[in-house]
Amino acid sequence: MRNAGLGGWPARRARMTPDRTAFVFAGRPVTYAEVHERTTRLASRLRASGVGSGDRVAYLGRNHVALVETMFAAHLLGAVFVPLNFRLAAPEIGYMLDHSGAEVLIYAPECAEVVRALPDTAALRQVVALDTPRTGEQHYETWLAQGDPTPIDTAVGLDDTALILYTSGTTGRPKGAMLTHANLVWNCFNLLLGVDVTSDEMTLISAPLFHVAALNQTLLPTFLKGGCSVIMPSWQVDECYDLIEKHGITWMFGVTTMFAAFARSPRWAGADLSSLRHLMAGGAAVPAALIRTYQERGLVFCQGYGLTETAPGATFLEASQSVRKTGSAGVPVFFANVRVVRPDGTDAAAGQPGEVLVQGPNVTPGYWRNPEASAAAFSGDGWFRSGDVAVLDDDGHLYVVDRVKDMYISGGENVYPAEVEAVIFEHPGVAEVAVLGVPDAEWGEAGRAFVVPRAGASVTAGELRDFLLPRLAKYKIPRYVDITGELPKTGSGKIHKPALRRLPLTDTG
């Protein structure tokens, strides 16, 4: 087999364990043999549409087996998979399709309105709908069934680009982080060395698969081991309980808000959770109180730190250390190196804050069609600059304390204030704006916008949110809005955000 990348995984797994269940979706099991046949048929249809090595194939929709099939089919041809955030507005999706140069878009029914609102899809060779296609589009199942099941063996190298994952931009435009097949394989190795994943694993996929964590930290390692991934379209507390009990779920990943909601459910006390072996948390440290709540049920967390650009695992805290090192993101994963450095590039002492740098075979080669950002992302000696500030303790455990670029995490989603500010500034009544993240009981952090109206203009919080709704994903829209006469400035005339952070909330959200 000449395909050394992920595209060869379905054939290799079908060769080893054809009758074992690879996925369960909407109550239907899919065997590894079926995954191999379906991805081969889909790849043949993509190839007939002109997709070849290096071309980009995009998917827009909630979690679905079709997302995974599209990824493997693209990789079977040596193409690049571009999973898109279904929460984004049409202008945001349009930019990503244009910037990536996607040849094909496959989309789910919940995204039909966004696709209809796209400014232009003429550059796409093919548009495929999971549900009812429009004129000129293909129906996914019908199109796939017409594909040729003859095995495809395209030469694909581990250093070839596998994914383009768009991260919210710090200057108003998102960047497309490239991950190679090698990045993904080494990340799986790192994960499997930190978590005892078995071939009989029943993994619950409840976080969105367009995110690097759900895809690379749970689904791909499970597939590699020959386990079963039970795919939820989206996070629902009651459905999560149902699936755990029905399928004997052994492993699940989530962000703090998901685990907190799960523990608040009235089903928490009486549910049978005895099958769960691993709980993995990411996005933010799990609070000590929540860790104790789970420990009282005999459940412990594996935590870690990473970024889209590190595929994502950079550090990992094993479950046995979750109490002794509460709040820590752990130590470097097996096949990676992590440093915390001062501004001059020298290593910070234990307890001294500095920027996190990462080096290893899991680290991105750079950003798609953005050589300037790629160059800026690496130090002179080749270490990836995370932009995050952390400290190391005397045992070498990492504690993330701040974000250099003011990014905040709301419900597990990265939000960059500069991107939100750029859109708010498009409102004709806005003269100045500053956005920052503030603590929020429900989402961990939420956006707070300080808006100065133009002279003679009147802007309300409600009007501003209505303006943003079709332009930004909902999680990016600030929950709190302050209409003010002026913003504090530094001596150089820049907005002084530290002063804004000290102000009490006045808008109730």
The radius of gyration of the chain's CA atoms, rounded to the nearest angstrom, is 23
Do the Cβ atoms of 362 and 158 come closer than 8 Å? no
Quote the domain boundaries for residue 418: 408-501
Model pLDDT, residue 419: 81
Give the end of a domain, one of 99, 132, 157. 157
CATH of residue 85's domain is 3.40.50.12780
221 within some domain: no
130 within some domain: yes
CATH of residue 453's domain is 3.30.300.30
470 within some domain: yes
Token pair listed for 31: 């065997």
Average confidence score pLDDT of the chain: 92
Model pLDDT, residue 264: 85
239 within some domain: no
Model pLDDT, residue 492: 46
Do the Cβ atoms of 169 and 176 come closer than 8 Å? no
- CB neighbourhood size of 260 (10 A): 18
376 within some domain: no
The pLDDT tens digits of the residues spanning 34-77 come to: 999 999 999 999 999 999 999 999 999 999 999 999 999 999 99
Do the Cβ atoms of 415 and 437 come closer than 8 Å? yes
Overall average pLDDT of the 87-91 stretch: 91
Token pair 């999680």 is found at 475
490 within some domain: yes
How confident is residue 418, by pLDDT bands cut at 50, 70 and 90? confident
d(CA 380, CA 371): 15
Measured CA to CA in angstroms, residue 459 lies from 428, 483, 488, 509 at distances of 10, 8, 20, 15
362 within some domain: no
The pLDDT tens digits of the residues spanning 446-496 come to: 999 999 998 888 899 999 999 999 999 999 999 999 999 998 975 445 678
Overall average pLDDT of the 264-279 stretch: 95
Overall average pLDDT of the 17-35 stretch: 98
Give the end of a domain, one of 157, 191, 218. 157
The domain total for the chain is 2
**Coil/strand/helix, residue 100:** helix
Token pair listed for 481: 């809005």
How confident is residue 507, by pLDDT bands cut at 50, 70 and 90? low
Give the end of a domain, one of 112, 131, 157. 157
399 within some domain: no
